[in-house]
Each structure stands twice: as C-alpha cells, then as structure tokens.
Amino acid sequence: MSKKLFFILISVLMIGSFALGACAPAPAPVEEVEEVEEVEEVEEVEEEEVVEEAVGEKIPLTLYYMPVTRFYYPSPKEIAEGMAADMANAGFDVQLELAGDWPTYLGLRREGNLDGLYMLGWGGDNGDPDNFLNYFFGFAGDDRVGDDASAWVKSPEAREGWYANTDVAYLLYQASINPDQAAREAMYKQVENLLHEDVARIWVAHNNTPLVFSSSVSGYVPQPVGADYFEGVTVEGSDTFVFGRGGDSVQLDPAVVTDGESFRVTGQILEPLYQYEPGSTKPIPALAESCTANAESTEWVCALRQGVKFHDGTDFNADAVVFNFERQRFTAHAQHYESQVYEYYEYMWGGFDDASIISAVEKVDDYTVKFTLSQPLAPFLANLAMDIFAISSPTAMEAAGEDYGLPSNGAVGTGPFKFVEWVEGDHITIEANTDYWGGAPTVDQIVFRVIADDSARFLALQAGDIQGFEQAVVEDLVTAEAAADLYVMTRPALNTGYLAFSYKIVEFQDVRVREALAHAINREGLIENFYGAYGEAASNFLPPLIWGHDDTIVDWEYNPELSLQLLADAGFPDGISEVTIDPAYVTE
C-alpha cells in the first residue's frame, strides 16, 4: 500500500470517529489498529488480484510445414515457402519451421502443440461426408481435446485452443443419424457454409493424385478411398514390384494407424468386413458376404465369408470379428494398450466402453455376427469398410502383445499379401498369399521403399530402382508424360489440403485476422506451380467427388490489400510478426 493511500485511509477513519463521538463511545486504541489492519488486508487482496492478471507469452508467428509429401501437399516445403511469400505481401511476417519427422508432427498436432499456423490435410477414409466433417468438427471430433462434453460447448478457450461451433456440431450429429441422404446432404451444405463464415480453417487444394509408373508395370488400381489395389500388378521381366514413397509407415496395426503411408501397406495385408469397389467409394462385401439392418437401423447382422484363413493358419470366423472390435471398444481389454491411441475407433463410433455407438458385437454362430448400435448411424457400412477396422489374427495379437504392428512383428491378416520384413526408414517387404480366398496375386513380392525427396523418387524410377511412385513434382510429371517408357495415372481427389490455426493464439481468435490470412494466400498460384493440371483450389472441406459438396460457396479471393485492411480493422495496422499465447494455456 502507498503512503498516500495509507494517510487517506487514516483520515477517513478519524473523520468517522469524530462524527460518531456524540452518540457512541470512542473506540479503544486496539480496535483502531484492528480496523486499519482490516482495510489494509482488503487492499492487499485487491493488489493480489491485479498481480494475477496474466500476460500471454509472445512468440514469433510460425508456419509449420509437413516433413513428408502427401497427395494434398505434393511439395510441402516449397508450398510453405510460397505461402510465406504471399503472406509477407499481406502483412504477415511468417517464420517457417519443420517440426520433426512425420510421427512427431502428427503427435504435436494431436496434442495441440503446433503454436501458430500449420499445414495438414485429410484424405477420406470412406466416401461419406461424415468422415470429413464429423470427424473434425462434431461433438466427438478430432478438434476436441479432453473428455468433458460440457466444456466443449463453451468456447474455443475451453477446448485447448481448438475451433468450436455448436451449430456445426448439432447439424453433424443430426446428419449422422438420419437415413435420408437428401436431408443429410442439405445439413452438410449448411455446415460447409458455417465453416466458411467462421474461417475455421483455410482450405487450400484438392489434388487428383498423380502416380508415375514404368511402362513395364500394369494392373495397378488407384483407389479414391482406402488402400490402392496391388494384387493385380504385373511387372514385365520381374516377380517383384518396388514402389517408392515419401515417408515410412508409423504402425502396421490398423487399429492404431492414422496415416496414409501405414494404410498403404496394411491394406494389402489385412481386410475389413466390407471394402470399397475398385475405382469407387461404394462399400461392397469383403470378409462379410452381407450385412443387413433392422427397420430402425440399430441392429446389423453380418454373414461372414467361410473357409478363410489368417496368414498364421488360424481361422477367420465370428470369434475373430468379436475380438477385433472388442479390443478397440473396451479400454480394459487385454489388447487395448494405454500407450497406443485408438483414434479412429473413438471418432467413428463415438467413444469407448459405454460411450461407443456400437453397444454390442455378438457371435450368433461361427460365421454370423450381430452389431447392436445405441443409435442409428447412417454411414455404418461406409465406416465398416475403412482400413482401420480390418481384421487381425487374434492369435498373432496375443502373441506379440504391445509390439503387434511394430517392425519386429508386422501384422497378420487375411489379405492378398503377407508381411515379410520392415527395415525402419528404408523399406517394408510383403509377399504373395498364394492361399488368398480371392485368388493369388499376380506378383510374388512388393517392396515399399522410402525415398523422401520428390525428385529423387523420379530419378530412382528413371534408373529402374523402383517401378512406380506417387506424387511427382510438376516438372517431373511433364517429363514423364513425354517419355515412352513411363506413364502417369491419377487417383481421383478425395482429399483436401488446408492451413489450420492454433486457437491458443490470441490473434487467431479474431475472425478478421483469420479472414485476412485467407485472402493472403494465392491458391491459384500454388496450384499452377506445385500441382499442375492435377490440382484445383479448394473452396470448402468436402472435395467435389463427395456428395454434399457445396459448389455455390465462393472461395476467398487472393487480395493482399483486403488482408492489410482487415488487419488494420483488427488493430494491427503494422501487420503481425509476433503472436500471443492465450494466458489460459500458459503453464508453469
């Protein structure tokens, strides 16, 4: 307390004592001291409250870019550099940062620790809009951190810095339980417009993914959804097909996989009950011969394919199906490990244990299972066909324990190929399953070789070290298209590359700043320079291939002058080079 304030308080007390003197005894000296001390204590509390007003940490404005090539970002470092150059002309002074390898990058994003802007994208796991929109923006969506649903609906500040809009979440919930596709489509279009108004993220591009092959290769089937089909591949003059890829797999246990490079391999080794029709997003039977729903769509009875063996010689049957779903659903299951993240199960089926939409998976007989749902789920078959729900051998899982899916063990399924070896950072080898129920593959062996650099993969193809790869740079595609000994195939775009915000950043909580960033990026320039004829600028999250895509949404035009004006309106006339972490997220 200042001396001046102390004397003022003493004066007030003295005046009060004089005024009361005619009608009350004068207070004892000790009472005077106690009264002053009480006032001082009040003032001290007030001073403590002022001290507790936290100031957010200032950090450089950073754009994190991906360490691996993905179909939605064919040249991530170069695209990041292009974005940064665009932003510099619109008032944003951005630093670029490569945040570790691919698993590290995904982990930092999942934990909410990419504090700034970050590049990422999504390749659809099924052809249903729910897989794009509900996965990210629903009540149990990927952008929700924590288990308290009541906290979810409060604000971005209550959700560890993630985007929150309850109108979006409620629409997505209603769409997920409605069997009427027309009604669902209308709801998804409402959601897309709300996300656009909020500038929840900046949609950058959809990419019809180019794959380049040696002319000696035939029979490859690129899938718009799910893993590509390799079993029909032939290589003239060789019994081995070597495929180059930009990054290594993270895991081969499909239950814990979230990345495309892992699914590319698991999709050859393991199979789900349903799969996607070649070249289509339509679910068709695989390990199940059929699945039939009751009138309320809350029970599904699946007749299983008989006579199928896992690669370890054990039988595929109803017991195996129940085991696979229960080990993901039940957190107390012996094969459900605390060290692993069963991310897809939680988001596709609403949670674990009693929170799961799948309330029971029961063996009816050796080759029949019944799924009981706590509510109707419109995309049930589309979900069932996802690679994440491929069926592993229970015997193999129990034998490997927590190491199932790791390089030392690989994975054991029923698919057209069997695991052979995994040399981390270099290659994974699989071999033909000659007893495959769908007929033996036409190639004896496939090697997935890691070649991180885009141009290096093309040079390896030209040298004959590999026979095919995904994601060539634009210049190499031009060369490949003109070469007599090479050819290009495309995978239809079921993907979206985006730029995301950490809502832990105070400045990004202002929609004007987010909109300024949206107008700062020259998407058409990025498409021309890095995607070529295969890419298109994204106006919303759903790619045009998926029903529910709203083609009436007008994209944010490239307009650096408007960006500067929006920044000025938001209180940043000199632009932004540093940002502030909201004090709510600053921990000791």
Q: Taking the CA atoms of 236, 240, 246 and 250 in sequence, report the sign of the dihedral they define.
A: positive
Q: What angle do CA 326, 225, 453 make, to 5 degrees?
A: 105
Residue with the bigger pLDDT between 12 and 258: it is: 258
- What's 359's DSSP letter? E
CATH number of 213-489: 3.40.190.10
Q: What is the dihedral of CA 460, 466, 469, 472, to 10 degrees?
A: 20
CA angle 588, 144, 224 (to 5 degrees): 130
- The pLDDT value given to residue 103: 84
Distance CA 242, CA 223 (A): 19
Alpha-carbon separation of residue 227 from 102, 158, 230, 269, 387 (angstroms): 19, 37, 9, 11, 7
Residue 148's pLDDT is what? 35
What strands, in cross-sheet order, belong to the sheet with 427-432?
A: 417-423, 427-432, 445-450, 240-245, 468-470, 209-214, 486-491
Say what the pLDDT of residue 109 is.
84
What percentage of the chain exceeds 70 in pLDDT? 86
What phi and psi values does residue 174 have, to the nearest 5 degrees? -60, -40
CATH 1.10.3470 fits 58-207+493-585, yes or no: no
Mean pLDDT of 488-510: 92
Q: How many angstroms separate the CA atoms of 71 and 535, rounded?
A: 10
Q: pLDDT band at residue 586, thresholds of 50, 70 and 90? A: low
State the Cα–Cα distance between residues 213 and 72, nearest whole angstrom. 20
Query: Cα(312)–Cα(309) distance, rounded to whole angstroms?
Result: 8
Name the token pair of 48. 């403590």
Give per-residue pLDDT as tens, 337-364: 988 888 889 878 888 999 999 999 999 9
Domain residue spans in the chain?
3-51, 58-207+493-585, 213-489
Indicate if the pLDDT at residue 426 is higher than 50: yes
Angle 269-273-278 from CA coordinates, rounded to 5°: 70
User: What pLDDT, on the 0 to 100 scale, is given for residue 147?
Assistant: 32
Average pLDDT over residues 69-84: 93
Higher-confidence residue of 509 and 95: namely 95
